Amino acid sequence: MRKDDAVAKSIREPACIIPVMGQYDVVVLGGGPAGIGAAVAAARAKAKVLLVEQTGCMGGMSTSGMVPVFAPLGHTDRPAIAGIIQEVIDRLKALDGLGRNDDTMAWIPIDLEKLKFVFDQMVAQAGAKVLFFTQFAGVRKRGRRVSHVILQNKSGRQAVAAKMFIDATGDADVAAAAGVPFEKGDSNGRTQPVGVCYTATGIDLPVYREFIKSIGSDRVGWWLHLQESGAIPAIPKAEYRGVYPFEVTPCSVGVNFAHIFEVDACDARDLSRAVLAGRKMAHSYIDYARKNIPGMKNARIVATASLAGVRESRRIEGRGRLTIDDFKNARHHADDIACYDYPIDVHNATPSRKDIRKFQNDFDHLVMAPGKTYGIPFSCLLPRTLDNLAVAGRCLSADREMHGSVRVMPACFAMGQAAGQATAIAAKRNVPLYKVDIRDLQKKLSSAGVRLT
């Protein structure tokens, strides 16, 4: 090494020739709820599909992120959203993989190990190939088309060619690398806080729940008081927050935990800070709770999430854009591929009481009237600048407020299902995604159990 090289701020990576490891109809990047919906739907439509995932299991936030519950499928007896998400729930139920939820029936607690197994089976039975431990690393473009994605894993660097690609990375990694314009967070670039969920055992749940109820409606104030009084150690740029514990198996609970602020989910250093902080907070809270909180004497953490719980990062600029106005007016569109009614759920972006109050004032009342839904248009999954890339999941084209509703898992499965079905059609007919016959797409989705109204 030359002496100058050691202090250089950047270096030039030598150009190299990399092998093309395969040719597919559809390649799905990211195996979270959106990626699973996409791979299953595309493979069932007879496309040759590869799903690429950076971890060793599918599920994204629902497994590696340890988010313990699926959001409700709807607010009335007739679910607003259906299709592959319903099949996932039915399969989990058949394996005794749904947790018990006596208090808030509409939320669906999940046994994440059984869920991993359900995803493995669904994707394999549909006929899609899976490549784990592999990160998306770049794209090769020709005009308005992506010709290859570049992947990095233990085998080195490889390219994969496909007719169609689906970006289900949650962070729009593929779209961003392909030059698609995007937004991130609020007008100052601030995003919702990151969480680190965990599973615990040894909790006397009825007693603990009674205690939580006894705190009253100001639970946020209770958590703030715990850290401000020094009962649990304060962590910089973070606040303790534990949403209701869900019984995910007969002997364990899953907790949606912590708010870690100023995390750019597209920056590995920020993500590292977030998981380090979140793990520390989970252990600090359980240590405190064992000594001080009814029902928690024997509590013990079983596992903390290996993926940081990212609520918000990039949202692409699409051909269409879902807005808060669509929510307020329960609007449907000619190209809807699903519908939903989950409330606007945006968490405070800074750890201040003022900000928490502002978020509560701005968003807490934004709930759909029973029986009303909004539609999710296909155009929100299509980047403006590319013809053979769809996005699915929390990186869709939407304004920040609306994103607060459509980011939850049932909607992500539905977007994935639509993107998978549409790319299979486009690959077969050799047309750009925006030229897919929307009636044909909707008909196929309806036959697969998706609700469009």
In DSSP terms, which residues pair with 390 in a beta bridge?
166
Near ligand FAD by CB under 6 A: residue from 31, 99, 185, 404: 31
* Stretch in the footprint of ligand FAD (CB under 6 A) among 94-102, 282-290, 309-317, 425-433: 309-317
Strand 257-260 relative to strand 374-377, pairing: unpaired
Site track for ligand FAD across 382-401, x = CB under 6 A: -----------xx-------
Instruction: Supply the minimum distance, in Å, between the C-beta of residue 169 and ligand FAD.
Output: 4
Give 195 or 295: the residue with its C-beta nearer to ligand FAD: 195
Near ligand FAD by CB under 6 A: residue from 79, 83, 97, 195: 195
Cα 43 to chain centroid distance, Å, stands at 21
Near ligand FAD by CB under 6 A: residue from 158, 169, 199, 442: 169
Amino acid (one-letter) located at 101: N
**Is 310 a residue that touches ligand FAD (CB under 6 A)?**
yes
Give 150 or 431: the residue with its C-beta nearer to ligand FAD: 150
Near ligand FAD by CB under 6 A: residue from 25, 27, 30, 190: 30
Instruction: Supply the minimum distance, in Å, between the C-beta of residue 26 and ligand FAD.
Output: 16
Amino acid (one-letter) located at 406: V
Give 171 or 336: the residue with its C-beta nearer to ligand FAD: 171
Number of residues that bind ligand FAD (CB under 6 A): 37
* Stretch in the footprint of ligand FAD (CB under 6 A) among 12-20, 24-32, 109-117, 272-280: 24-32
Instruction: Supply the minimum distance, in Å, between the C-beta of residue 131 and ligand FAD.
Output: 9
* Stretch in the footprint of ligand FAD (CB under 6 A) among 6-14, 51-59, 79-87, 212-220: 51-59
Q: Tokens 């790319």 identify what position?
A: 423
Give 55 or 227: the residue with its C-beta nearer to ligand FAD: 55
**Is 136 a residue that touches ligand FAD (CB under 6 A)?**
yes
**Is 241 a residue that touches ligand FAD (CB under 6 A)?**
no
**Is 60 a residue that touches ligand FAD (CB under 6 A)?**
yes
* Stretch in the footprint of ligand FAD (CB under 6 A) among 40-48, 169-177, 350-358, 376-384: 169-177
For the chain, the three-class secondary structure string (H helix, E strand, C coil) is CCHHHHHCCCCCCCCCCCCEEEEEEEEEECCCHHHHHHHHHHHHCCCCEEEECCCCCCCHHHCCCCCCEECCCCCCCCCCCCCHHHHHHHHHHHCCCECECCCCCCCEEECHHHHHHHHHHHHHHHCCEEECCCEEEEEEEECCEEEEEEEEECCEEEEEEEEEEEECCCCCHHHHHCCCCEEECCCCCCCCCEECCEEEECCCHHHHHHHHHHCCCCHHHHHHHHHHCCCCCCCCCEEEEECCCEEEECCEEEECEEEECCCCCCCHHHHHHHHHHHHHHHHHHHHHHHHHCCCCCCCEEEEECCCCECCCCEEECECCCECHHHHHCCCCCCCEEEEECCCCCCCCCCCCHHHHHHHHHHHCCCCCCCCCCEEEEHHHHCECCCCCEEECCCCCCECHHHHHHHCCHHHHHHHHHHHHHHHHHHHHHCCCHHHCCHHHHHHHHHHCCCCCC
Site track for ligand FAD across 349-388, x = CB under 6 A: ----------------------------------------
Near ligand FAD by CB under 6 A: residue from 97, 254, 309, 351: 309
* Stretch in the footprint of ligand FAD (CB under 6 A) among 52-60, 180-188, 220-228, 434-442: 52-60
Structure tokens at 62: 């629902």
Structure tokens at 144: 């308005």
Nearest to 144 by CA among 179, 171, 173: 179
**Is 153 a residue that touches ligand FAD (CB under 6 A)?**
no
Instruction: Supply the minimum distance, in Å, between the C-beta of residue 308 and ligand FAD.
Output: 8
* Stretch in the footprint of ligand FAD (CB under 6 A) among 79-87, 247-255, 404-412, 434-442: 404-412
Instruction: Supply the minimum distance, in Å, between the C-beta of residue 110 and ligand FAD.
Output: 9
Catalog residues that contact ligand FAD under the rule CB under 6 A. 29-35, 52-55, 60-61, 67, 69-71, 135-136, 168-171, 173, 195, 197, 256, 307, 309-311, 393-394, 407-409, 412
